Structures are given as structure tokens and as C-alpha cells.
Chains A and B, each alone.
Chain A
Amino acid sequence: MSRPAGGLTGVVLRAELRQLLRDRRALFAAVVLPVLLYPLLLGGTRRMEEAAEESMGGRDLELFVDLEGVGAETRAALEEALAGPHTTLTPCSAAGLLEVQDSLPSAHRARLRTHFEELTNGGRTAVVLATEPEGTEGPLMARVFARRKDPLSREASSRGRARLREWSRREGEAQRLELLAVDPAAPLAVEARNIASAEDQGGRELGQFLPILLVFLLVSGGSYGALTVFAGEREAGTLETLLTTPADRGHLVRGKFLCVLAATGAALLSNLAGLALAAAMGSADLPGGALGAGRLLSTAVFLPTVVLLTAVLCLACGRARSFRQGQQLLFPLTLCLVVPTTVVLVPDLEHSIGLGLVPLAGAALSLRDALRGALTPGPTLAMMVSHLALSAVLLRRLAVLLDAERALAGGAVRAEAAQRRLGTRAGHVVGGLAVLLMLAVGTRLQAQAPLGGLLGTLWLVLLPLALIGHLRIGRALGPATPSARLFGGCRPSALVAAALAAPPLAWAVEQLVAHLLRWLPLPSSAAAPSALVDLVEGGSTLTLVAVFALSPAVVEELLFRGTVLGALLRDGRPARAILTSAGLFALAHLSLHRLPPTFALGCVLGVVAWRTRSVWPAVVLHAAYNAWAVLSGTERLPELLADNAVLLRWVGLAALAALPFLGPRREES
């Protein structure tokens, strides 16, 4: 009765393919529609854009001008400059508008707006007001009044400005010629020539978006096949029958996977054909037109990614109980899969073996390099191997999933696992909420008032979350085991050791940040809000410690160590609990650049809280660390401390090492 394994996979593949191909409606939507759609859609939008642009440019506008403030000669020149096609100039008296200022109260602004509307018969245009300089010397002052949000007014204003600027440039040029016969800057005139070939240029441009587009197309195109093949089996009520056949789950999964792979490939090809057709018909610009056969062939490095994405789709749809559930899963899944590929947007990021190992990101970079004709063997090989290996792992998981019931050895284990999940879930919910609140409320508050927002976020948002979360978890899950109870007291020696342990921690984090900045340089625009900078530079030491050390230490520790870590620790897996709480703590700081240092800090604080069975040593350590960092950063450490920094570092190291052993005494616990 035995037969070659490939045969069985083939049997499943053929049956699944046959079913997919007979679903005419789906076939049409997945394969035929894209070919028709892209030319229509891209052509349509382009036509619309052109029409809209044309209609704006060709719109007859009445531009209001007030040139009374300038001399007759200049006035004539300005009028000539401002005149142009589809534009009539209407003189008006606009001196009243000069009052407009950003600082005006809104009622006053509204009055001026009414004045503007009366002046211009409705306000759907712009007013140009020119005045002589206040002194004798200096440039003319030209103000263009408009309402930016109205498209017509915007168009009028941009016409006026463009023509004035052109006039000013010409005038300036003439003036220079008059004053300086020879342009001293002439030897500095730059003529730039791009020596890149059309193929290179096209490949580079294509490389910046094609990887992202491909992943998107693959997921959306392959989803229907995956849903039909996996979720559809459950829905049709045939899964039970299939599972009682003496076929190995691995063969079943492989056959189904190959079918989805074929469907995904077909959908991808038809999408690309549609795009190419659109480009050929001139309704879309595709920069890849000049790509040679070699480069097109080398895009085959992306094939392992097609396999990987298909495996991900199969796994996602294999989990879904119904078509509907699978369908609703797809949107967030697509987003998650597309995000790593956006790495190609980082300009000229160099591919490396390490990056090659990152799922999807590595593949996107390899594809980008292939299109540029600069494929590097090491990273590409790493990418292909890692992607195929990951696909194999996923497929194995899928086989296990189909066999899920059997794989779970017994109910006792399951019940315990379920119990374990409750604490973890509670910790995830509170931590996740903290991150979301920081994102949605915290950033907003701090945007409005940096200092007040900072304090408000901590004390009015996060602290209530910590306390309510703690109470609700306690009520829902009952009293925690002693090792997960972190709100209790601690040994005074632990508090002392925590206070001493700050300098070495601050030093280590500083080293980490310095190292990190080489890989992840901080942009010049990412500066702290000026109000906070002023506070840091001008505030008293006491204020600094209160605002930047005590306040965040108390609130963040109560939330992330007390409530979140406490809930996670109920499961009895301390390493995982500490890493998770540190991850949430790091995410809540909302900055990719600060993610690694805050994560490391979170781990240390988590270990301290866990070992001392109390949140208070972590509060003290956090406060002392922040205080040390802020004060040494502004060079305001008390002299005694600053002079003995090295000594303190060693003493602190000993204290830090001792901290984990300062937990409750045996008889207490």
C-alpha cells in the first residue's frame, strides 16, 4: 500500500488546483480582472489629474491688486509682470488687510476675512498689495493675501507669487549687471551631468518601490487561493474526512501549499501583466522599461520570498475557522508583511548578511540590488537560505496545526497552559494599552504643552492605568503567588543598594547609546521641545530631579514593573515575563532610537523588581539613574559625586551585583 511521497502530494495538488480553476468567479477576480483593471485605473486617475490641472491652469481669474503704495514707474512694471493668460487685474484698496497677523484674536481675524471677501467679491481669489520700503533703501514689500484652503484662492495666489518672483529675479539680474560688470560667481556656476545609463537609473527607481508593491500584490493576490484551500476545507465540512485518510499530514499540507503557490504566482503574473499593459498604453510611468534581460532574470532572487509569503498565507488561513474569519485577518496581516519591505525606502542602505537574515526586509533589499544590477552574493545567499528555511518551518507548523488536536498530549497540560495565559494576557493588555495611550494621548498632550503634557501623561493617564489595572487583575485572577506580588515592601538594604547602583547603569547605557548612534544616527531635527530644553538648562537641580527623575520613576515603575510584570509573573516564567515587560516599557517610549537603551534598562529594572519581590528598589534605581543621567548631562552633578565618578561606578557595580540577592528573607517568603 506504500507509494512514493511525491505522488501523494501530487494527488492533493491536482485535486486542489482543479477545484480552484473551476471557481470561475474567483478566477476572474484574481487573474483576469487585474489585467483589465490596471490600464483602466491608472489611465483613469492620470486622465483625471490632467483634467483637473488643466482646468485650474486654464481657469479665468480676477487677481486683485493694490499698487497705490509704489511709484508710478514701478507700478507699471509690476502690472505688466502680474498680467498673464487667464488673469485679469482689478485694482482695489487693500490697506485694511495689513492688520493681519498671526497673533490676532480669532474674532478680529474673522472680521478681516469678511473684509477680504467683500473686497474680492467672495474671497475666491488673492489680493496683491505692494508698498515701498520704509527707509529709502531696501526691497519693495509685496504681500499676497489668500485663503490657502480654497483651491481657487490658492491658484490665484500662486500665479501672483510666481510672476512677482520671476520679475524680482529679472530685476535683480539687471541690477547686478549694472553694478558689477563681471559676475564674481560665474566660475561657481554648476553644470551637473548624470552619467548613469537609462538602465541603471530605471533599475534604481524601480528598486525603491517594486519590492513593496510585490509583497502587497502577492498577499492580496494569493489570499483567495489560501482561503479557499485551507479555510474552505473547514467550511465545506471535508476536513474531518481528510483527517481520517491514512495520508501523512505533511503530504496534505505540501500539496495544498503548492496549489496556493501556483495561485499566488498566477495572480502575481497577471498583476504584473496588467501593470506592464498600463505602461505600454501610456497610462502609467514605469521606470523599468530600460531594464535588460540580465537584470530581469536576476529578480529571480525574489522567488524564495514568494514561497515564504505563500507559507505565511497558508498558515494564517489554516488557523482560520471559516472563510470569513480568514478574510478579516488578511488586512492587518498585509500591513504587517508590507512594513519590513519599506526598508528599501532608506536611501542607499547597504545590504549585509545580517540584513539578509531578516525576513522580507532582506528579500526586499536583494530585489532592489538585483534591479540595480548590483547583487551581492553573501547577503543574497543568506536571504535565500533563511527565507526558504523559514518557509519550511512554517509549513511544518501548518502540518502540526492540521493535526493540532493530536499534537497536544493531554488535557491536564492544556488546562494549565490556559491558566498560564490569563496572567500573560492581562499583562499584555495593560502594557499594550499603555503604549497606545502614550501614542494617542501622550504625544498629543506633550505637543500642546511639553512640561504639563509630560507630567499629565504620567500622573493622570499612566498612574490611573497602573492602579486600575492592578486592582482589576487582582479581582479577576485572585491573589497572586508571592513571587508575583510586587507591591509589597522590601528590605531597606535593597533601597540603599538601588540608589548606589545608578552610576554604573548610567555609564553602561551611555556606552550602548554611543555605539547605537553609529548604526542608527539621530537626525538633526529630532530635538527635544524647546520648553523642555529651557527647563533642563535653566531649572534648579531640585526641579530637574523632581520632573525627570522622581516623577517618571514612580509612575513607570508602578505601571511596568508593578502591574504589568506582576501580571506576567503569575505565569511563573520569569525570563519571559521580564523580557516582555521590558519590551512594552521600551515601546511606550515611542522612539526607535531609544528602543534598545530603554529595553536594556527595562530588563535590569525587571530583574531587580523580580528578585527583590518589590517594586520599590526599582523605583529608587530608576529615579537615581534618571537623576544621574540628567545631572551629569548638564554638568550639574554635585562636586563630591562628579569628582569620584569612577569610584562610584565601582561601588555601584558591587551594589548592582548585590541587588538580586537582597530579596525577602527566607522566613518572610
Chain B
Amino acid sequence: MSTAPDAIQAEGLIKTFHDPERGEVNAVQGLDLICRGGEIMGLLGPNGAGKTTTLRMLATILAPTAGRARVAGFDVVEEPLEVRRRLGFLSGTTGLYPRLTARETLEYFGRLHGLEGPELERQVERVVDAFDLHAFASGRCEALSTGQKQRVSIARATLHDPEVLILDEPTTGLDILAASDMIRFIEQRREEGRAVLFSTHVLSEAERLCDRIAIVHAGRVLAVGTQEELRARTGATWLEDVYRALVAEVEGQTA
């Protein structure tokens, strides 16, 4: 498959919610982002910075209030179906159908992605092998452990070999082993030349994995770059300090 130079392109994304209690909420206010194929990009920011909303807009679950975004070369507003065909999405809160078995779940989503017959079987076998699901593939999802569920979910997200993988805090709630499985998996996607965009607030994860990091604060990207670039820009050594420095910079401007 081709690895387009820009797997994800977002320009001036804005998302405004109306909350009955808080009134107008500007979750994302003009966010620009570019993520290339074969690259792992991290969205780093505290809770409420607008990471999840951004990812959901890119995954076509939410519609942007304004701005444009293209995923795998397709516009998320105009051609959502094409986007979804080339997209794998997984979040920390993703669940599984309790009364379907792992294999049935995979087959179900495979079919919804347009796989059929021998092709479907082949892909299911591939992910069952890849994520070592043999032991529990025919057990109901409600009986699986958290780690096992996570593996089934990952298998589900990569079943159609998506060009772009969007992960929303994928390691939340996972134990050390499951989290490291997840990290290995993300690295593997890079090796296969796919783009991975993931959000996290765990700094060590970002430091280890990301080719480039976008620092998100209050619905805006404060800075994008490799870790070295970010360090050079702020003069701080640790990512934590980089973050603080960038936030201080912005707040200084507005104050």
C-alpha cells in the first residue's frame, strides 16, 4: 500500500459544544496538525486539553464546528466512509460485546469493514496469531481478563490493516505487561510504515515512542516537533519541563 506523505492533515479544527450547565464549551479552538506515514505522533496534554475531541473528529465520530481535516487523503466531513475504511480507532474506554466470543467479534467487525469469505478468515487468523489470542479466541468476551480484552480490541482495530491508527490514551487502565504489549504493537505499526496518532498524558510513554510530539493545551497546539526540537526551543531537558515552559509562555502572553 502507498504511504502518503501526509496521513493526517488538520487545519484550524474547531469544536464547540453546548453544555446545559456550563454553557458554551470550546473544546478545540483552531488546531493544526500533520502526521506522516511511518511516523508515530503523540498528542501530549492534561485532561481536558481537547485531545479526545480532536481524535474523535479525526475518526469521524464528531463533526468539526469549523476547519478541515484529511485522513489518508480523504476529507473527514465529505467522505467519512472512505476515511473509516483506512482507519483503525481504539480508546481506553472501548468495550467489547459481552456475549460474543473474541473470534465472533473479529469476524463481525471484519464483515462491517467489507471483508468476506477466505479473505476474512485469513485476516482473522493473522491477527489471532499476531496477538496470540489462540487460548481464548472461542471464549465469550465477558469472561476475559482486562489484558486479554485489550489484546482482542487491538486485534479488532488492525484487522483491516488500516493506514492510519488513532489511539486515544491506549494504555489507560492496563497493567505493566499489557501496556508494554501495546507499546510494542505501536512500534510495530511504525515499522510497517503506517501512521500512528495517539494521545497520552503519560510522559515516559511519549518520550519512548514518539517521533514527533504535539503539545496540546486548552484546545490548541502549543508546539510540534521532535523531542530534540522541543528541548531546544524551550531549553528544558525533561518533557515535563518542556510542557510547563510552553504553557507558561502562552499564559504569559495572554496575561
Contacts and interface: CB of A to CB of B under 8 A. Distances in A.
A431 B84 CA distance: 47
Contacts of A22: 99-100, 140
Interface residues of A, number: 34
A411 B95 CA distance: 29
B198 to A, nearest CB: 15
B24 A23 contact: no
Contact of A237 (B24, B63, B94, B114): B94
Given A405-B63, A411-B18, A247 B24 contact: no
A15 B113 contact: no
A316 B200 CA distance: 36
Contacts of A236: 95-98
A246 B113 contact: yes
B89 A241 contact: yes
Contacts of B94: 237-238, 240-241
Contacts, number: 102
Given A18-B104, A240-B91, A241-B94, A11 B112 contact: yes
A246 B112 contact: yes
Given A245-B84, A246-B82, A238 B89 contact: no
B16 A412 contact: yes
Nearest to A14: B108
A98 interface: no
A412 B94 CA distance: 30
A405 B16 contact: no
A244 B87 contact: yes
A434 B56 CA distance: 44
Nearest to B93: A237
Interface in B1-48: 14-18, 20, 24
A165 interface: no
B62 A406 contact: yes
A411 B109 contact: no
Contact of B100 (A19, A245, A407): A19
A1 B60 contact: no
Given A23-B99, A236-B97, A410-B66, A243 B61 contact: yes
A412 B109 CA distance: 35
A418 B18 CA distance: 8
A240 B89 contact: yes
B60 A244 contact: yes
B93 A241 contact: no
A8 interface: yes
B85 interface: yes
A415 B18 contact: yes
Nearest to A15: B108
A246 B87 CA distance: 9
B186 interface: no
A244 B84 contact: yes
B68 interface: no
A2 interface: yes
B130 interface: no
Contact of B112 (A8, A409, A415, A418): A8
23 contacts: A1-B85, A11-B111, A15-B108, A18-B99, A22-B100, A237-B95, A238-B96, A240-B94, A241-B156, A242-B112, A243-B61, A244-B61, A244-B87, A244-B89, A245-B84, A245-B112, A246-B114, A406-B62, A411-B14, A411-B24, A414-B16, A415-B24, A418-B18
Interface of B: 14-18, 20, 24, 56, 59-63, 65-66, 80-82, 84-85, 87, 89-91, 93-100, 104, 108-109, 111-114, 116, 140, 156
